[in-house]
A and B are shown apart, each in its own frame.
Chain A
């Protein structure tokens, strides 16, 4: 299920790769408004796709009031995201279905690592002065190191938006390059905070620079911006991933985060991935949802598929 891929080592900074980038917003909007309408996934296929979506979730809690207790509860849900009776009814009871990762702040990494012991579910830590990314640079690099030392196998970094808005691509590149070095073996997801980048052209250029700097994933948002994961920025980023693969041969993952709450939204993202990037980007090694409440809706839909009755949220165990 987890197809091994060669990690993106990055490249030197090719400014000519971004000079020619053009993004037409209205055309992007037309594509994203028709993508979910062009494809329809129903019945057994729908159940299978929703299950697959669950395996791509970075189950997330990023609140000031997170404690060891609620993180442990989240991790329990991560290990058993769907009630076993539902899984059995779907004929996937033996598939050991879990979410892709649990995503927390640095201080909660040890709690999550402990709670996930005995599973293969990695802990992801948001880092580098999340969410604004305006802490002193050395401190941001150090934060990565400490999270990795604490057991985080994935690091979600944020970029300095200023570098994008002022088009200082070399600075953006250097920053992300150094973050990547600090990550070591841990996989790096690069959060662009697209809601703060102003234009889709900026999103495209920032995506490309971060991939050149060695991002394993590019990620839309922290979830804390006023506009988070939209299909429009998703389409632009997906196309940049394709462009980067065409140029270098390396596959970079994609993670939309923020505001994805319903099975219907999840399906639209999956269709976008399949259509623009191909089937491989439906699996967790190249695709993640950053979400906290999405799982409940997915589980309810699966319950409906099995029973034919609409489900109540309180019938699904809390995360």
Chain B
């Protein structure tokens, strides 16, 4: 019987391989050996070291790849540094032309890039061809546009400088595009390290840069492993590090870059919920799951790996899911009829299996269809784990493989609670045909990307990035540009400091009275003022400090001008608890928050002279200067009252038919350590934007001049500010900061203190990957509108959530 006659009856699928000839020819033309792309040329690594990259579907080695050492990274950074002045000085239009050319060339080499990606990574050719490479081209087109518009739309900002970028192996070329496109569009130059498993498309991209005539040194590609990565993240002459990868490595990078003045953006792990309500289009949701967790073998940071399905439909839904799993085809990723390709490396395969075995040991039920797996190569079948609870290891840990865990919920409220019961916050997918329900849940889920009745949608116009321990910063959209820009007035901080004795930062002996000799008493006494006892302000109430210690506040001549409570760990703990309880503040309308801010300004104005006198008494500045500070503080309250209902977000113009809403959401509980300069104005300039945008605050006033802030709580008390929205804890700035920054329930820490303190804040923030904003000990001019107010503050006070809402009936 002929094969045609046979298949005519069996109606099976046959092999349909994409030919790798062009990719092999390209590799052969390089003699299957690659150097480093530095300063627009291929150079031999000074390290003289090479390693093999191989095809995970076959185990066959593809090429030898340079393993760059520190001196190689040095050379790349030098080339990028040398290229920076001319590149950043080019007009936006000139840079736009280069990015446009790169986009065009990506399209011209579309198939070669796709095949090479699949060979090196193991992902199905359908995905590299139909998803990865088109998104890459789109990313360069989109950012060509921002380069063109930079002078007008991003006036007042300058490029960050030379950027080190380290990317993962799951979307090798796409992650490269997400890193390089915004960086060079904005006038930065880059040193990029692809992942050791998947360097090939980055090397082909290097040749595209050459092909389009990109000036040498603007893009440098250095290959290598963890040591090369460390050489980049630790390099002193880089101005920014951008990293995508695991939360574990992200923490290390946060620590090693702490205190260096380098900017940092991190796109890390996830355990994203996939929520199916009873009124969903269930067949659609099943296909959504396929795209969520069996896309790219589940090796996707935003994979919908935690299925939450409403209990009333769970049994039937899971049965449908099992049936669908049985039709997934696993195998040769170059085959155009394959759904699930090869796992990137045997080590990754073992890791996945270890998690699954842990799940089973903890009681999970496993389902894997009888899908045949190829004999050689690195494969893992689609896997469903049921009988899993939030307490199960597999429900908490990112598995990074084709493994779905399923749990049920009873009510929308419970769905939100389960969805948010995670350290991560990268993405979420919500399935319901009830728009009220779907959008309500979308607003409540803590995640950077929320897909309604859809999943794993990406576009250059919609910034991608996480909440919580999924990292910070956005890639894509206008929001992503600011990762590669700094305010033009600000120079790259290069903090230097002498370490506190014995590494004892954040430690102090509690406050006590001053020696009698040399210090006058407070002006109490007969017919003087009545003794005042500023307390802590926690949960809307004046509280005595837990430790019952008091610190003196001195005037310019060393005289005692007042006393404040000496707060300690427990006071910070109570303040954070109060701030967390006050989260309902975020749910108030912008109008309501604005009214309260105006009211604060009104009440401050009524007592303006008294506040000015206090500033004079503490600082010895002139009346005029103090009055100006009070006046500016009132103006600033007006500024953020104004912004309270004007920074909600925007509609993102993606390729989706539908609406993508970019919402600027509050970050949550923000710790703020205020500087000593302008004790009232700086306090107001920091607290006001935070609360205007719906955050709740634990503020540590100026250590030296705390009385402006303690006076201020009386203003808060009379201005209808709900209890817990602003909490004020006085004491030793760094002692209190240390507790705050180590607190896992604090979402952001703003620190305006010393260079050393800034370093510790960044380092310690790695505990829960809280966002940090520090001054590296450099003062800013709070009276200046550019430095003391505006978009920078609003951006720090918010995080962007993009909600994708496809439309059509």
Q: Which residue numbers of A lie inside 8 Å of B, CB to CB?
A: 1, 22-31, 34, 37-45, 47-49, 51-52, 90-92, 95, 199-201, 239, 274-275, 279, 282-283
Contact = CB atoms under 8 A, between A and B. Distances in A.
Contacts of B291: 30
Contacts of A91: 1-5
A217 to B, nearest CB: 19
B808 A49 contact: no
B14 A45 contact: yes
A27 B14 contact: no
Contacts of A27: 281, 284-285, 287-288, 453-454, 806
Nearest to A29: B808
Contact of B809 (A25, A45, A90, A279): A25
B8 A39 contact: no
Nearest to B7: A48
Interface string B1-43: 1111111110111111000000000000000000000000000
A49 B12 CA distance: 9
12 contacts: A25-B808, A26-B454, A26-B658, A27-B806, A38-B339, A40-B336, A41-B16, A49-B11, A52-B8, A92-B8, A275-B327, A282-B11
Residue in A25, A43, A48, A239 whose Cβ sees the most chain B Cβ within 10 Å: A48
Contact of B283 (A26, A44, A239, A282): A239
Contacts, number: 107
Interface in B99-132: 126, 130
A43 B1 contact: no
Residue in B1, B13, B280, B291 whose Cβ sees the most chain A Cβ within 10 Å: B13
Interface residues of B, number: 41
B279 interface: yes
Main secondary structure of the interface of A (DSSP, over half): helix
A92 B2 contact: yes
B517 interface: no
Which 3 pairs of residues, A with B, have the shortest CB-CB distance? A91-B2, A27-B284, A26-B806
Given A40-B336, A279-B11, A22 B281 contact: yes
B371 to A, nearest CB: 14
Contacts of B529: none
B11 A48 contact: yes
B337 interface: yes
Contact of B13 (A45, A47, A92, A95): A45
Nearest to A21: B281
A48 B4 contact: yes
A270 to B, nearest CB: 8
A22 B279 contact: yes
B14 A24 contact: no
B433 interface: yes
A45 B2 contact: no
Interface in B636-658: 657-658
A22 B280 contact: yes
A22 B433 contact: yes
Given A47-B4, A90-B4, A91-B2, A38 B126 contact: yes
Contacts of A92: 2, 4-5, 8
Given A23-B281, A27-B806, A48-B4, A40 B337 contact: yes
B718 interface: no
A128 B338 CA distance: 45
Given A38-B339, A239-B283, 14 more contacts: A1-B9, A23-B284, A26-B806, A26-B808, A27-B288, A37-B130, A38-B126, A45-B14, A45-B16, A48-B5, A95-B8, A199-B809, A200-B809, A279-B11
A31 B809 contact: no
Contact of A38 (B284, B337, B808): B337
Interface string B323-343: 000010000000111010000
Nearest to A201: B809
Given A48-B8, A90-B2, A91-B4, A26 B657 contact: yes
Nearest to A273: B11
B807 interface: yes
A21 B99 CA distance: 47
Given A40-B337, A239-B283, A275-B327, A24 B433 contact: yes
Interface in B272-327: 279-285, 287-288, 291, 327
Contacts of B453: 24, 26-27
B105 to A, nearest CB: 24
A255 B350 CA distance: 47
B291 to A, nearest CB: 8
Given A24-B433, A24-B453, A91-B2, A45 B12 contact: yes
B4 A51 contact: yes
Contacts of B16: 40-42, 45
Contacts of B3: 44, 48, 91
